[in-house]
Structure formats: structure tokens, C-alpha cells
Amino acid sequence: MKFPTMEQTYFRKGFGLKKELRPLIDAEYQSALVERIRSRGYTDSFGDITVRLAQEFGFCYGVDRAVDYAYETVHKFPDRPIHLVGEIIHNPHVNSRMTEMGISFIYPQSDGMFDFSALTPEDVVILPAFGVTLHDFDELKSIGCVLVDTTCGSVLHVWKRVENYAKDGFTAVIHGKYTHEESRATASQVNKFEGGKYIIVRDMAEGGLLFDYIAKRPGHLGREAFIEHFAAKASPGFDPDRDLALVGVANQTTMLAKESLAIGWKVHEAMVEHFGEEHASTHFRSFGTICSATQERQDAVAEMMDAPPEVMLVIGGYNSSNTNHLAHLCRQHTTTFHVEDASCIDVDTGEIRHKPEIDPTTPEVIASDWIPEGSFTLGITAGASTPNNKIGEAVLRILEIRGIDASLETQKGQPA
């Protein structure tokens, strides 16, 4: 029996169907209303509502590419079972559309592991934009199924840094959420080299435990307490006294860029404090692994907040890290509502379902009378996994609640 080669079962560059499928994808995900607002300098008026769009929002290149490849896969293999490892991106509308196209989802078990035992070489498996762990990739490869890899290039850039850290004996300190698919996949890259180590810190507060331990500051966690705290967030057998001697910093690409940079600086500062500048210069590494799209969307929101709108609407999945961080930035300046989808805005009641905190476990709450009386400015941004049609739909729902006929406003706004 002749087995297929990796060249025959592994695809990372699509199938050459982008031009053919682009009209279909644009029809499903684009919005004429959003394009109108964008064409008018990202600001437009509808009745007594001024709508301001952030100058960078919505689908990034990596997400666009992942969605394209999913559509191409369905058209390339119409008669074969197609599966997704987890969600292709963190957007409920897009993932629902994948289901409608006949793609089935393989979700992780309670321990975060995937069960691929039902797959056969006849199956086609799409790897999400976040990537998969080395263990999962090797298992899928061993099954012999067709793999369509949509892992984002920015994520691969981080993986390469982490791989190099492990190669040179440095422990990877990763700023990220240890349960997030991307952070798990990134951390797994250390396993390419024997003895590779990693530790994941969620934010500056948790990073403080790490900084204090490295610097041996008064009151720092004891060795056993440190190991216990990071047990699920570090490589097996992690020993802080041994494994924090050589450190390289990386990050989950969708985290707050400024916080990632600050964590890196604090690690360096702690090493200097305890060992001295000369030691730190050879025992600490940090490279620019901030995703440009994440940075651009955060910068665009920061620019909007120089003159914040009365109400800010942030659209994107509640489990989307980059969307949560955009909402967090906005809440520091103005009244902000983070909605998972345009459907969270109820036209009949005028209410809005939204998530009030960055913690993904925080339940939705319902707000009424959230739209100000009289003229006001509505700011809008969206996470990198949110398609334009859902942004446009959200605007239309708000206008309808206010009694503004968007169709007439749009017609009135067209050039003569």
C-alpha cells in the first residue's frame, strides 16, 4: 500500500480558489454601510447620531486568510468529511457559518486535550488561526488525514522565537492566558528541544509573582508556593530556581501590547536587581512579537479616546482576547458596551445585552435606556475576528431603535 506524502496531505497556502470565491465571501461578510462611513473619513451622521469608526477595526489579515482557506477547503473537498480543531476564530457568527457549510467542530475536552480517535485518512482537518500544539499536530499527521493549516503568520513568528529560546536553553516567559488555544500552542514549541521550558503569566499582577521571585524581594513566594501557583501554567517539572536562570519573553499575540512590553521590562529589571546588569545582558532576551494588527487596533482606539464619544460599542466574541482588550481600553475613558454580536441589540425593547468586564466568565447583563437622549456620538470598534456585516447590522439596529430610517439616510448620503 502506498501512503500519501506530507506534500499531498498538508496545505498551508490554500488551493488557488481565492479569486473564484472572493465574491461569495464579500457578499457574506462585507457591509455597504460600513464602507460608506469609512469613505467619509470614518465619521458619518444619521439623524442626530454621529457615528465614528475606529480607523483600524474588524477582520485582520490572518483572520481573512483563515476564513478564505475554510471556504476553499469546502469547495476543494465537497465529498469528504471536514473538521475544525476548536473554532477557526473567536466569532460566533463566522463559526455558525462554518457549521452551515457542513464543517464539524472538534472541541477540547475538560482537560484541554482533543480526541482525534474517530478521524481517518479520509477526513479533512482545518487547523485554526491560533494554531495547534505540537502534540496535536503530530497526532493528526500520524492519522494521515488532509491538514489545512490556517495558523496566522504573526503566531508563527512568536513560535519561532520560543523555539529559539528552547534551543539555546532559555525558558520562555509567555504573556498570555494559559487556557487559550494560542498560548497552549505557543508553549508547546519548547518541546522541539529536550529540556525546553515555559511559564505563562496572565497579566502584570501575576507577573509580579515572577518578578519578585527572580529578584528575591522580601515577601516573595517560597519555592513550593511558586511551583503550586504555576503548576498548570508551566512546563512539567518546572523548577523556578533552575529554570529562571535564562529567560526569554514572548506573548500571546492578542494581549495588550503595552502590558506585554511592560512585563518584559519588569523581568529584565528583576534580573538586573538580583544579578546585575552584566548578567542580565546575557541571561535575558526579548524580541518584538507583538502582532501588528493587534497593535494597530489598540492604537486606533487610543486615538479615538483623545476625544471620546459619549457611547462606545465594541463588537466581538466574548472569548476573543483582542476584543476584550479593546473593550478594557475604552472603559477607561467612556461608557462602553461589549457585545458578542449585533443580535445583542434588541430593536423591539431597545435593550442591549453586553459583557461588563474583561473576565470571560463574567455573565452578560442587560441595559435599558443606554442610548442617550438628543444628539450624541456613537463610537464603534470591533475585534479582529468580527466581519463588517455585523458592524453594519449593529449600526442599523441602533438607528432603528432611535426611529431613524437608515435606508433613507443612506440614499440621502449618496453623491449626486
Give the residue carrying C-alpha cell 454580536.
341
Cell numbers placing 104: 464539524
Distances (CA, A) of 41 to 44, 106, 159: 8, 42, 37
Nearest CA among 320, 317, 325 for reference residue 297? 325
Which of 182, 224, 273, 303 is the catalytic position? 182
Cell of 367: 441595559
Is position 182 annotated as part of the catalytic site? yes
Rounded CA separation 201/376 (Å)? 40
Q: Are 190 and 197 in contact (CB under 8 A)?
A: yes
CA distance 91 to 68: 15
Instruction: Provide CB contacts within 8 A for 19, sequence distance 6+.
Output: none
Angle between helices 292-304 and 321-331 (to 10 degrees): 20
Nearest in space to 88 (alpha carbons), one of 63, 110, 109? 63
Distance of alpha carbon 21 from alpha carbon 27, whole angstroms: 10
Query: Environment class of residue 311 by beta-carbon count within 10 Å: exposed (0-12), middle (13-18) or buried (19+)?
Result: buried
Active site residues: 182
